[in-house]
Amino acid sequence: MARDSNKKGKIILALDVADISSAGRLLDRTGNRLKIIKIGPALFTGYGPKVVEMVRRKGADVFLDLKFHDIPNTVASAVRQAVRLRVKMLTLHTSGGAEMLKAAAEAAGQEAARLKVKKPLLLGITVLTSDRGSVNTKATVISRARLAKNCGLDGIVCSAGEAAEVRRACGKEFVIVTPGIRPRGADAGDQKRVATAKAAFASGADYIVVGRPILEAQNPGAAIQNIIQECYNATGDRYGRPDQGIAR
Protein backbone atom coordinates (compact mmCIF):
# COMPACT_ATOMS: atom_id res chain seq x y z
CA MET A 1 0.00 0.00 0.00
CA ALA A 2 1.43 3.38 -0.97
CA ARG A 3 1.88 6.10 1.55
CA ASP A 4 -0.98 8.54 1.98
CA SER A 5 -0.30 11.41 -0.40
CA ASN A 6 -2.07 13.86 1.91
CA LYS A 7 0.72 15.33 4.04
CA LYS A 8 -1.63 16.68 6.69
CA GLY A 9 -2.81 14.81 9.74
CA LYS A 10 0.57 13.23 10.49
CA ILE A 11 0.62 13.86 14.23
CA ILE A 12 -0.85 10.97 16.23
CA LEU A 13 -2.09 11.42 19.79
CA ALA A 14 -1.28 8.51 22.09
CA LEU A 15 -4.44 8.19 24.20
CA ASP A 16 -2.68 6.64 27.20
CA VAL A 17 -5.23 7.52 29.88
CA ALA A 18 -6.85 5.50 32.64
CA ASP A 19 -10.41 5.10 31.38
CA ILE A 20 -12.81 5.81 28.56
CA SER A 21 -14.35 8.81 30.31
CA SER A 22 -10.94 10.45 30.65
CA ALA A 23 -10.26 9.65 27.00
CA GLY A 24 -13.46 11.35 25.89
CA ARG A 25 -12.81 14.43 28.03
CA LEU A 26 -9.28 14.76 26.68
CA LEU A 27 -10.46 14.59 23.09
CA ASP A 28 -13.06 17.24 23.86
CA ARG A 29 -10.42 19.45 25.51
CA THR A 30 -8.14 19.23 22.49
CA GLY A 31 -10.98 20.24 20.22
CA ASN A 32 -10.42 17.13 18.15
CA ARG A 33 -7.42 18.86 16.58
CA LEU A 34 -5.56 15.63 15.88
CA LYS A 35 -7.27 13.22 13.55
CA ILE A 36 -5.41 10.00 14.32
CA ILE A 37 -5.65 8.63 17.85
CA LYS A 38 -3.52 5.78 19.13
CA ILE A 39 -5.22 3.27 21.42
CA GLY A 40 -2.83 1.02 23.32
CA PRO A 41 -3.14 -2.22 25.29
CA ALA A 42 -4.27 -0.72 28.61
CA LEU A 43 -7.25 1.25 27.30
CA PHE A 44 -8.25 -1.49 24.86
CA THR A 45 -8.02 -4.20 27.54
CA GLY A 46 -10.32 -2.17 29.76
CA TYR A 47 -12.88 -1.11 27.18
CA GLY A 48 -12.32 -3.06 23.97
CA PRO A 49 -14.15 -2.02 20.79
CA LYS A 50 -16.16 0.58 22.75
CA VAL A 51 -13.17 2.90 22.94
CA VAL A 52 -12.49 2.46 19.22
CA GLU A 53 -16.10 3.35 18.47
CA MET A 54 -15.92 6.39 20.79
CA VAL A 55 -12.85 7.76 19.01
CA ARG A 56 -14.41 7.21 15.59
CA ARG A 57 -17.64 8.94 16.70
CA LYS A 58 -15.56 11.99 17.54
CA GLY A 59 -14.33 12.11 13.97
CA ALA A 60 -10.85 10.61 14.32
CA ASP A 61 -9.16 7.57 12.84
CA VAL A 62 -7.76 4.87 15.11
CA PHE A 63 -4.21 3.58 15.34
CA LEU A 64 -4.70 0.29 17.22
CA ASP A 65 -1.34 -0.31 18.88
CA LEU A 66 -1.70 -3.81 20.34
CA LYS A 67 1.62 -5.16 19.03
CA PHE A 68 0.36 -8.62 18.08
CA HIS A 69 2.95 -11.38 18.60
CA ASP A 70 1.83 -15.01 18.60
CA ILE A 71 1.62 -18.03 16.34
CA PRO A 72 0.64 -17.14 12.74
CA ASN A 73 -2.95 -18.40 12.92
CA THR A 74 -3.68 -16.50 16.13
CA VAL A 75 -2.22 -13.26 14.80
CA ALA A 76 -4.09 -13.63 11.52
CA SER A 77 -7.35 -14.02 13.45
CA ALA A 78 -6.59 -10.94 15.56
CA VAL A 79 -5.81 -8.91 12.44
CA ARG A 80 -9.15 -9.90 10.89
CA GLN A 81 -10.92 -8.64 14.00
CA ALA A 82 -9.00 -5.35 13.80
CA VAL A 83 -10.03 -4.89 10.16
CA ARG A 84 -13.67 -5.31 11.24
CA LEU A 85 -13.17 -2.41 13.65
CA ARG A 86 -12.30 -0.14 10.68
CA VAL A 87 -9.00 1.01 12.17
CA LYS A 88 -6.54 3.02 10.12
CA MET A 89 -3.36 1.39 11.48
CA LEU A 90 -2.37 -1.55 13.64
CA THR A 91 0.89 -2.96 14.93
CA LEU A 92 2.54 -6.36 15.26
CA HIS A 93 6.03 -7.36 16.36
CA THR A 94 8.48 -8.10 13.57
CA SER A 95 10.25 -10.44 15.99
CA GLY A 96 7.31 -12.82 15.44
CA GLY A 97 9.02 -13.89 12.23
CA ALA A 98 8.26 -14.09 8.52
CA GLU A 99 5.49 -16.70 8.71
CA MET A 100 3.56 -14.66 11.26
CA LEU A 101 4.01 -11.40 9.34
CA LYS A 102 2.93 -12.94 6.03
CA ALA A 103 -0.14 -14.49 7.67
CA ALA A 104 -1.09 -11.09 9.08
CA ALA A 105 -0.68 -9.32 5.74
CA GLU A 106 -2.71 -11.96 3.92
CA ALA A 107 -5.48 -11.87 6.55
CA ALA A 108 -5.71 -8.07 6.42
CA GLY A 109 -6.01 -8.04 2.65
CA GLN A 110 -8.58 -10.82 2.52
CA GLU A 111 -10.78 -9.37 5.27
CA ALA A 112 -10.69 -5.85 3.86
CA ALA A 113 -11.66 -7.20 0.43
CA ARG A 114 -14.48 -9.28 1.93
CA LEU A 115 -15.88 -6.26 3.78
CA LYS A 116 -15.15 -3.86 0.91
CA VAL A 117 -13.29 -1.51 3.25
CA LYS A 118 -9.86 0.09 3.11
CA LYS A 119 -7.15 -2.18 4.48
CA PRO A 120 -5.46 -0.75 7.57
CA LEU A 121 -1.77 0.03 7.47
CA LEU A 122 0.12 -2.90 9.01
CA LEU A 123 3.11 -1.60 10.96
CA GLY A 124 5.93 -3.74 12.28
CA ILE A 125 7.40 -2.97 15.69
CA THR A 126 11.19 -3.04 15.41
CA VAL A 127 12.97 -1.98 18.63
CA LEU A 128 10.95 -0.15 21.29
CA THR A 129 12.00 3.45 21.97
CA SER A 130 12.11 2.58 25.68
CA ASP A 131 15.15 0.45 24.81
CA ARG A 132 18.32 2.48 25.34
CA GLY A 133 19.84 0.87 22.28
CA SER A 134 23.33 -0.36 21.49
CA VAL A 135 25.80 -0.42 18.63
CA ASN A 136 23.60 -3.07 17.01
CA THR A 137 20.26 -1.27 17.35
CA LYS A 138 20.29 0.48 13.98
CA ALA A 139 21.27 -2.69 12.14
CA THR A 140 18.53 -4.61 13.96
CA VAL A 141 15.91 -2.02 13.05
CA ILE A 142 16.93 -1.97 9.39
CA SER A 143 16.93 -5.78 9.21
CA ARG A 144 13.47 -5.96 10.75
CA ALA A 145 12.19 -3.20 8.47
CA ARG A 146 13.35 -5.13 5.41
CA LEU A 147 11.69 -8.25 6.78
CA ALA A 148 8.44 -6.36 7.30
CA LYS A 149 8.49 -5.01 3.76
CA ASN A 150 9.32 -8.39 2.24
CA CYS A 151 6.43 -9.97 4.15
CA GLY A 152 3.87 -7.48 2.85
CA LEU A 153 3.63 -5.00 5.72
CA ASP A 154 3.08 -1.33 4.92
CA GLY A 155 5.68 0.10 7.26
CA ILE A 156 7.34 0.01 10.64
CA VAL A 157 7.62 1.84 13.94
CA CYS A 158 11.10 3.07 14.84
CA SER A 159 12.85 5.97 16.52
CA ALA A 160 13.99 9.05 14.63
CA GLY A 161 17.55 7.80 14.99
CA GLU A 162 16.90 4.95 12.57
CA ALA A 163 14.31 6.57 10.29
CA ALA A 164 16.68 7.98 7.65
CA GLU A 165 18.43 4.66 7.07
CA VAL A 166 15.13 2.77 7.02
CA ARG A 167 13.91 5.20 4.36
CA ARG A 168 17.02 4.56 2.27
CA ALA A 169 16.72 0.79 2.72
CA CYS A 170 12.98 0.44 2.14
CA GLY A 171 12.05 3.24 -0.24
CA LYS A 172 9.84 6.29 -0.28
CA GLU A 173 6.52 4.40 -0.17
CA PHE A 174 7.33 2.53 3.03
CA VAL A 175 5.54 4.08 6.03
CA ILE A 176 7.64 5.15 9.01
CA VAL A 177 5.96 5.98 12.33
CA THR A 178 8.14 7.54 15.01
CA PRO A 179 7.17 7.56 18.72
CA GLY A 180 9.17 9.00 21.61
CA ILE A 181 8.53 12.59 20.53
CA ARG A 182 9.47 15.23 23.09
CA PRO A 183 9.74 19.02 22.84
CA ARG A 184 13.27 20.28 23.28
CA GLY A 185 14.21 20.18 26.96
CA ALA A 186 11.23 18.06 28.01
CA ASP A 187 11.55 15.10 30.38
CA ALA A 188 12.04 11.87 28.40
CA GLY A 189 10.30 9.76 31.08
CA ASP A 190 10.83 6.05 30.42
CA GLN A 191 11.65 6.68 26.76
CA LYS A 192 15.33 6.46 25.84
CA ARG A 193 15.64 7.15 22.10
CA VAL A 194 13.64 10.38 21.83
CA ALA A 195 13.53 13.24 19.32
CA THR A 196 11.73 16.49 18.64
CA ALA A 197 8.94 16.56 16.07
CA LYS A 198 11.18 18.60 13.79
CA ALA A 199 14.01 16.05 13.99
CA ALA A 200 11.67 13.12 13.38
CA PHE A 201 10.17 14.58 10.22
CA ALA A 202 13.59 15.69 9.00
CA SER A 203 14.80 12.10 9.43
CA GLY A 204 12.07 10.78 7.15
CA ALA A 205 9.15 9.94 9.45
CA ASP A 206 5.69 9.98 7.88
CA TYR A 207 3.88 10.10 11.22
CA ILE A 208 4.93 11.01 14.75
CA VAL A 209 3.30 9.77 17.96
CA VAL A 210 2.98 12.21 20.84
CA GLY A 211 1.64 11.24 24.26
CA ARG A 212 2.78 12.69 27.57
CA PRO A 213 3.78 16.16 26.28
CA ILE A 214 0.08 16.58 25.44
CA LEU A 215 -1.56 14.39 28.08
CA GLU A 216 0.35 15.99 30.98
CA ALA A 217 0.09 19.57 29.75
CA GLN A 218 -2.06 22.02 31.70
CA ASN A 219 -3.51 23.07 28.36
CA PRO A 220 -3.46 20.09 25.95
CA GLY A 221 -4.80 22.20 23.11
CA ALA A 222 -1.95 24.68 23.47
CA ALA A 223 0.55 21.82 23.61
CA ILE A 224 -0.81 20.48 20.34
CA GLN A 225 -0.62 23.94 18.81
CA ASN A 226 3.05 24.22 19.81
CA ILE A 227 3.81 20.90 18.09
CA ILE A 228 1.90 22.00 14.99
CA GLN A 229 3.94 25.21 14.96
CA GLU A 230 7.18 23.24 15.26
CA CYS A 231 6.17 21.04 12.34
CA TYR A 232 5.24 24.09 10.28
CA ASN A 233 8.56 25.74 11.05
CA ALA A 234 10.37 22.59 9.97
CA THR A 235 8.42 21.70 6.85
CA GLY A 236 6.27 24.62 5.73
CA ASP A 237 2.61 23.87 5.08
CA ARG A 238 3.17 20.18 4.24
CA TYR A 239 1.90 19.26 7.70
CA GLY A 240 -0.76 21.90 8.11
CA ARG A 241 -0.56 25.65 8.72
CA PRO A 242 -0.62 26.64 12.42
CA ASP A 243 -3.82 28.67 11.99
CA GLN A 244 -5.54 25.70 10.34
CA GLY A 245 -4.57 23.05 12.84
CA ILE A 246 -4.34 19.50 11.60
CA ALA A 247 -6.79 18.27 9.02
CA ARG A 248 -7.49 14.79 7.78
Query: Domain 11-233 sits in which CATH superfamily?
Result: Aldolase class I (3.20.20.70)
**Three-class SS state of 67:** strand
- Tell me how far apart the alpha carbons of residues 198 and 17 are, in angstroms, rounded to a whole number: 26
Q: Which residues are catalytic?
A: 67
pLDDT of the residue at 89: 98
229-248 tens-digit pLDDT: 777 665 555 444 444 443 33
Angle, vertex CA 246, rays to CA 125 and CA 189, nearest 5: 45
**Three-class SS state of 69:** coil
- Tell me how far apart the alpha carbons of residues 185 and 242 are, in angstroms, rounded to a whole number: 22
Greatest extent of the chain over all pairs of C-alpha atoms, in Å: 48
pLDDT of the residue at 133: 60
- Tell me how far apart the alpha carbons of residues 175 and 4 are, in angstroms, rounded to a whole number: 9
Q: How do the domains of the chain map onto residue ranges?
A: 11-233
Tell how many helices (H) and how many strands (E) occur in the chain: 10, 8
Task: Report residue 37's pLDDT band, with 50, 70 and 90 as the boundaries.
Answer: very high
- Tell me how far apart the alpha carbons of residues 156 and 162 are, in angstroms, rounded to a whole number: 11
Write b or e for each residue in 5-20: b if 16 or more Cβ atoms lie within 10 A of its Cβ, otherwise e: eeebbbbbbbbbbeeb
- Taking residues 140-155, what's their average pLDDT? 97
- SS3 string, 2-19, reads CCCCCCCCCEEEECCCCC
206-227 tens-digit pLDDT: 999 988 878 888 888 888 887 7
Task: Report residue 68's pLDDT band, with 50, 70 and 90 as the boundaries.
Answer: very high
